[in-house]
Structure 1
Amino acid sequence: MNISTSLHDHDPEFWTQDPIYFPLSYRITGTILLGFIFILGIIGNLLVVYVVARSRSMWSPTNCYLVSLAIADCIVLVASVPQEIVSFYLPGSEWIWGDVGCVLSVFLQNLGINASSLCVAAFTVERYIAICKPFLAQAMCTLRRALKIVFCVWIFAVLYSTPWLFLATTFPIFYRGYPPLKMCDHKLSREQYLGYYFTDLILFYLIPLLLCILLYSKIAHCIINQPFTGSPIVISTGNGHTTEFQGNTRTSSRTQVVKMLAIVSALFAVLWLPYRGLLVYNSVAEEKFMNVWYLLASKGCIYLNR
């Protein structure tokens, strides 16, 4: 997702070939799909930031994580989608944003994706403590602690993504009848990035996914097994405050909460699986899988998850 999918490898054999363009049906489908996701994602995430920022009463640990997640998602969308749409109408693999644009695009995409995954993990832990350990949450789930965690998340994401400032660059490509063009690609061979790719897979997909499954299962168990008594059920809302619900809440309401939590985990797993799976396959397979429709669908799933 974050680097050109060109298979040219800067081979002079391609210097006199005609450029390959995407089919018209692909251009139209991709432009409409990604354009819709981009507009909806940017507006939705900016609204989250605006609504929380303008009302001090909404400054809670949960909303702190949501704002951080919204910012990370905006970074990914801005760094990825416009270039994806523009590339539909350019000669194969052409990059028009310059050397600095290439490096920043790759860096910002990785930064946003990594920060987003870590925010999801932090938010999951916070929700688990707030719902299942409400009295502990009064001390732990505070706005100050949430801000410190978010700060650490971004520092780690920046440090981890910094190598991409030195691992991507532009290369010249030559097509018959065209002036010299540029493409954004790896500095080194793909095989030299395998350790980095698989570390990404573990840190920012498998671990957050397993954490979501484990903690949301515990949350579901906690909600379902709340006693049906007249005493209130206490759930922390952050900043040392709690909300009470009567113990005779209907079973159907609890079931809906459990379903919602299951959907959160399922969407994260399902929407990221096509692209993560593709990266793993192309990292170990001798013949790379580069079907353009699959690439569009897998990237669309990632952007949709924003």
Structure 2
Amino acid sequence: MTILILSRGKCGLSRCITVYLVTMAVADLLCLIFDVIFFELQELYFPDSFLDYTPVCRMKFFLLFVSVECSVWLTIAFTFDRYVAICCQQIRTKYCTEKNAKVIVATIWGLSILENIPRYFVSEPQIIIDNISWFCIVKSSRYTEPAWVTYLWIDIVLLTFIPFFLVLLFNGLTIRHILLTSRIRKALRNNGNDPEMESRKRSIVLLLLISGNFILLWLVILIHFICAQITDVEFLQSDYSNPFAILEQVGYMLQDLGSCTNTIIYVASQAKFREELKNLFKYPLAFVTKLSK
């Protein structure tokens, strides 16, 4: 519904913002499909199916991490775009365009696919029955061979440390600029009503909610990784009595939750989005009512 509503372009958002939000919604949807449905639910309700063939299992992991990485870096791109739009007036008209947004989105998807290609080869068959390989487990060499260890560190840095730093940096600079500009305009106008500043503050609410949601829901994963490096515990433990295993699984749960909450943020912060959502539900009801007459 989010993709459909935003794609119609009736939410009062610029085409540039719409491109980012639609592609973020697509990435979040893919996260839910490949992680929640094809991974968690598939193991519970459809065990030992063709989805457990090793090549298919490898592809599931590959597509899962591609969608997660795209979701993360599209959030960063959207945050930077809003920073430029508000704080960098000289380059705003050239950078914050629909064409430029599409190029950036395509670049993020392409680089995410290339960066995650090694994930397809990081696992091996768990069991072979009648010359058919089943399931996939991470190779033990991933934690010992220098190449795999380096790749793991690069992956963690790209998914956690750098995104956290960039989100905090751009949001901090944006908020600082808004507060400074607001004080200057208030002093010049000598009244409490400034339609331009009120509009600018409302536009930044969406940015802060989405990026703040990202920081809070990815914080547990970041804490677990730091703890794992300090204590040398292994990832993906199956002993759920271990507090580190519990922390890791909670982090993954919150990561999946992050793919669901953006729609709620749109509804909470955008009046026109709420109106379009109501209309989306009214059309089928009106059609059914018309047929029943």
* Shared fold, TM over 0.5: yes
Match of residue 156, structure 2, among 201, 214, 226: 201
Partners of 1:69 and 1:258 in 2: how far apart?
Answer: 17
> What is the 5 A alignment of 1:181-220?
182-191=134-143, 192=145, 193-220=148-175
Residue 95 of structure 1 and its aligned partner are, at CA, apart by: 9.1
**Aligned-CA RMSD value:** 3.5
Identity of aligned residues (%): 23
SS in 2 for 1:162: helix
Q: Deviations over 1:181-209 (max 9, x none)?
A: 94321234231332222111212221121
Q: Does residue 278 of the first structure (1) align with residue 216 of the second (2)?
A: no
Change (3 A) 1:59 1:266: closer
Aligned residues: 238
Q: Does residue 245 of the first structure (1) align with residue 173 of the second (2)?
A: no
Partners of 1:206 and 1:123 in 2: how far apart?
Answer: 18
Match of residue 155, structure 1, among 106, 110, 124: 110
Q: Does residue 300 of the first structure (1) align with residue 253 of the second (2)?
A: yes
The aligned amino acid for 1:54 is: R
Change (3 A) 1:95 1:269: farther
Partners of 2:101 and 2:205 in 1: how far apart?
Answer: 26
Q: Deviations over 1:11-69 (max 9, x none)?
A: xxxxxxxxxxxxxxxxxxxxxxxxxxxxxxxxxxxx22212333488661111111111
Which shows bigger deviation, 284-293 or 72-81? Answer: 284-293
2:177 paired residue number: 222
Partners of 2:63 and 2:173 in 1: how far apart?
Answer: 34
1:267 paired residue number: 213
Change (3 A) 1:182 1:303: same
Partners of 1:150 and 1:287 in 2: how far apart?
Answer: 36
2:286 paired residue number: none
Match of residue 41, structure 2, among 75, 81, 85: 85
TM-score, reference length from structure 1: 0.66
Q: Does residue 131 of the first structure (1) align with residue 81 of the second (2)?
A: no
SS in 2 for 1:305: helix
Q: Which structure 2 residue ranges, 5 or more long, are not aligned?
A: 241-245, 260-293
Residue 133 of structure 1 and its aligned partner are, at CA, apart by: 2.3
The aligned amino acid for 2:254 is: C
Change (3 A) 1:196 1:283: farther
Residue 230 of structure 1 and its aligned partner are, at CA, apart by: 4.1
Change (3 A) 1:125 1:246: closer
Q: Deviations over 1:208-249 (max 9, x none)?
A: 211111111111111112221449xxxxxxxxxxxx9345x4
Partners of 2:9 and 2:94 in 1: how far apart?
Answer: 23
The aligned amino acid for 2:195 is: F
Residue 286 of structure 1 and its aligned partner are, at CA, apart by: 4.6
Which shows bigger deviation, 280-289 or 108-117? Answer: 280-289
Partners of 1:163 and 1:263 in 2: how far apart?
Answer: 33
Partners of 2:94 and 2:232 in 1: how far apart?
Answer: 53
In the alignment, is the contact (CA less than 8 A) between 1:168 and 1:187 conserved in 2? Answer: yes
Q: Does residue 99 of the first structure (1) align with residue 54 of the second (2)?
A: yes
